[in-house]
Amino acid sequence: MAKIKLIVLAAYKRDDEGNMVEAMEEKQMPTEDRAIREGKSLVSQYDGVVAWSRDADPDIGEYGPPTIIFKHGETPDMG
């Protein structure tokens, strides 16, 4: 398999202790445009929403650094 681009959408809520926790399972998206559109549609429901992409070659376990393509609110560090 050749290199692919992973595009992921994630949403977070603040727990009772003030920590940002995953509020929905990360969702792989077909395009960056779709990830941005869906991310924008979630901003009123969650404390933080982020969509990111990165180049990947899953066959050999090689993944490039994530690039944020949409962010709203507070999200955990992608470090």
Indicate whether 33 belongs to any domain: yes
- Which pLDDT belongs to residue 3? 82
Indicate whether 11 belongs to any domain: yes
- Which pLDDT belongs to residue 7? 96
- Which pLDDT belongs to residue 1? 57
> Which residue, chain included where needed, has tokens 């990830």?
35
- Which pLDDT belongs to residue 79? 55
Indicate whether 78 belongs to any domain: no
- The whole-angstrom separation of Cα 73 and Cα 1 is 36
Q: How many domains does the chain have?
A: 1
Indicate whether 64 belongs to any domain: yes
- The whole-angstrom separation of Cα 73 and Cα 51 is 12
Domain span at 38: 4-73
pLDDT, tens only, 4-59: 899 999 999 999 999 999 999 999 999 999 999 999 999 999 999 999 999 988 78
pLDDT, tens only, 55-67: 988 788 888 899 9
